[in-house]
Structure 1
Amino acid sequence: MSDNNQLEDGLFSVDINLDEDNDSGSSTRFRNDPRAPHQRKTITERKGAIDIRCLGKDVVHGFLKDGEGPATLVVYEFELLARKKDRRIVQVDISFVFHGKDEAPDPEVVEIAPKNRMITVETKQTENTTTSREGKVGATQFGAELGGSVRWEKSVSRETSDATSIFGTRDTMGRRWGEPNGVSWTLLENKSTKTGVPAFFRTAVLLKRQDDAEFESEFIIKASVDLVSALSRLFGRTEVDDPILYDPTRPPTDKLRKYDTDNLEDVTLHDLSIVSFTSPIDG
């Protein structure tokens, strides 16, 4: 990634390998287990100045409604931790794109959570803005002008608000036609409090399939990190992780709850979604 990717406020957009110290093994991609390649639990795991981990918490294959319309529900969990006290993650961009294998149709992203713009930890503050203008005043007395300058000031007060923001969208990726086959989320810190992005984030995706053929997804995550005005570049490049392979004939994982596999459309994805500034105790 070139140095032209400098962002506002002294931020840099870097690959998932956010390791300033280039720790051993931090740039090794995460692979599928040759003995059990399908639906690996750990999507990615990176250790360094910034720790990032993504898990496939639940994978449930079934149907949209009344046992008709093949569908898959996937729940992801993210842990985003800054190991060093002079580091904080101010923005994270996450995306998944789903592909059919061997020229099979791509799964369609029907619903996601979180979706659109959501906010948390909203703060309000009052900003005062003062504008000034210099003018000339004068008076004529006995044929002479007495003059000087005077400064006029106008003060305006307004209340502003800021918040930690999360944006979620369904996207068409890798092609310019058809229904959405991808999903993306962006997490932005509250610029006023400068507390970084949430440390724990759970998302859910409902897919519509054409049949029970295997499919896969590609995963990309990037982050922008505040460097306390030092503006030193985090370096190191991470190889792309193996795609996640899905087999619709496998049974549901049911780690978070018991799902009605005949009616996945009835699952309220928002109830599965979690955003927290602390990591869960259980792994």
Structure 2
Amino acid sequence: MNREIYIELGWEDDLEYHLPNEVDKFGRPVPHRKAVTGTDRRGNASLMSVVGIMPVVVHGFADNEPHTLVIFEWNIISGVQDLRFKSVMIEVSFLAHGPRGEAENEAQELRHAGFSSHYWNPEVVKAVPSGTSTYKRSTRHIGGKETYELGFSVGFQPYFSLSPKYSLERDTSSEIVDAIRVTGQPFVMSPDRNRPDSVRWIMLENESKRSGVPAYMRTAVLLKRQPNDNGLFLGTVKVETHISWWEDLKERKRRLTGQIRRDEPIVFDPHVVQSSAFDSKRQQLDEVDLDADFSSLYGFAGGHPG
């Protein structure tokens, strides 16, 4: 029989955490903050957290159209014995914000024509990892063999009786393949557009092995901006986790009662150029091999790999 041990993490003192953007001397938010989520947690809350950072942002071009390459790193911190992350979902959405820079004249014309500001949301043209990958595969057997006995009697009791029995056997066993699954998928968040402006990554543990999810994942997103658009855009990060029904219930209650405040959106500014290992690809960002360079994960956040 499996038993789950529930430990009170005592997060009540840490409910006001949220990551703000720093501001410059003019009160403007500083773009491209490195800390994405989770690093602000204190005390026991920091022991079970998803810590995301954004080490690289590259604004450039592909086919003479403005693009942006964003790299994220996610560390799954599982520091409480007997607790593990059974699933982690990370969503990142990108939203145009404010004037559109060199494309502002066109933006004004489109606004007068009834176009929504979502028209200028960056489009996710590629994200890694994408699709579904499996790791630490294992097999288990369920079911077995079922036996049925059939009997009948003939004759005239008590003088004569014949009661043969027949046995029928049916094999009901089957083999189930379990694995750690990592899924990535761009999707549309804004209601009035048909180009993906968001990406979702999901990590699921190997349930039969109680493996927990990978302890680290590196992801990347290539964004396409509208021609001449060098206005600001925002990145909103949403993280949902599954630890146990009790811990999940407490987390939902805190969110519903407003005890947990959301992190501020990340500010992206195409005018800000930061040095990186991809400077030589700044004019051809579509030539960066995202699958080879950024889709990596290792370790397991709790449990025992199969």
**Structure 2-normalised TM-score?**
0.76
> Which segments of 5 or more consecutive residues in structure 2 lack a partner in the other structure?
99-116, 302-306
Q: 2:133 matched to 1:115?
A: no
Per the alignment, in what secondary structure is the counterpart of residue 24 of structure 1? helix
Per the alignment, in what secondary structure is the counterpart of residue 286 of structure 2? helix
Pick from 1, 22, 31: which aligns with 2:11? 22
Give distance in 2, aligned partners of 1:222 and 1:19: 19
Give distance in 1, aligned partners of 2:53 and 2:235: 14
1:52-110 CA distance string (max 9 Å, x none): 21101211110113xx1100000111111221111010011111111111237110000
> Taking structure 1 as reference, are residues 38 and 127 closer, same or farther at Cα in structure 2, changes over 3 Å only?
same
Q: 2:80 matched to 1:59?
A: no
Pick from 261, 269, 281: which aligns with 1:239? 261
Give distance in 2, aligned partners of 1:257 and 1:278: 30
What letter is aligned with 1:112?
A
Give distance in 1, aligned partners of 2:280 and 2:134: 28
| Richer in strand (by share) | 1
* Kept in 1: contact 2:17–2:261 (CA 8 A): yes
Q: 2:274 matched to 1:252?
A: yes
Q: Which has the larger radius of gyration?
A: 2
Q: 2:94 matched to 1:71?
A: no
> Taking structure 1 as reference, are residues 130 and 252 closer, same or farther at Cα in structure 2, changes over 3 Å only?
farther
Pick from 167, 177, 180: which aligns with 1:161? 177
Deviation at 1:26, TM superposition (A): 4.8
Q: Which residue of 2 aligns with 1:226?
A: 244
> Taking structure 1 as reference, are residues 232 and 244 closer, same or farther at Cα in structure 2, changes over 3 Å only?
closer
Q: 2:166 matched to 1:170?
A: no
Give distance in 2, aligned partners of 1:153 and 1:20: 51
Give distance in 1, aligned partners of 2:15 and 2:295: 28
Q: Which residue of 2 aligns with 1:124?
A: 139
Per the alignment, in what secondary structure is the counterpart of residue 155 of structure 2? strand
Q: Which residue of 2 aligns with 1:3?
A: none
Deviation at 1:27, TM superposition (A): 3.9
* Kept in 1: contact 2:20–2:264 (CA 8 A): yes
1:1-26 CA distance string (max 9 Å, x none): xxxxxxxx999xxxxxx983115335
Q: 2:100 matched to 1:100?
A: no
Q: Which residue of 2 aligns with 1:5?
A: none
**Structure 1-normalised TM-score?**
0.81
Q: Which residue of 2 aligns with 1:138?
A: 153
Percent of matched pairs sharing the same residue: 25
RMSD, aligned α-carbons: 2.9
Give distance in 1, aligned partners of 2:163 and 2:267: 83
> Taking structure 1 as reference, are residues 151 and 84 closer, same or farther at Cα in structure 2, changes over 3 Å only?
farther
Deviation at 1:151, TM superposition (A): 5.5
| Richer in helix (by share) | 2
What letter is aligned with 2:18?
R
Give distance in 1, aligned partners of 2:289 and 2:267: 25
> Taking structure 1 as reference, are residues 246 and 234 closer, same or farther at Cα in structure 2, changes over 3 Å only?
same
* Kept in 2: contact 1:10–1:226 (CA 8 A): no
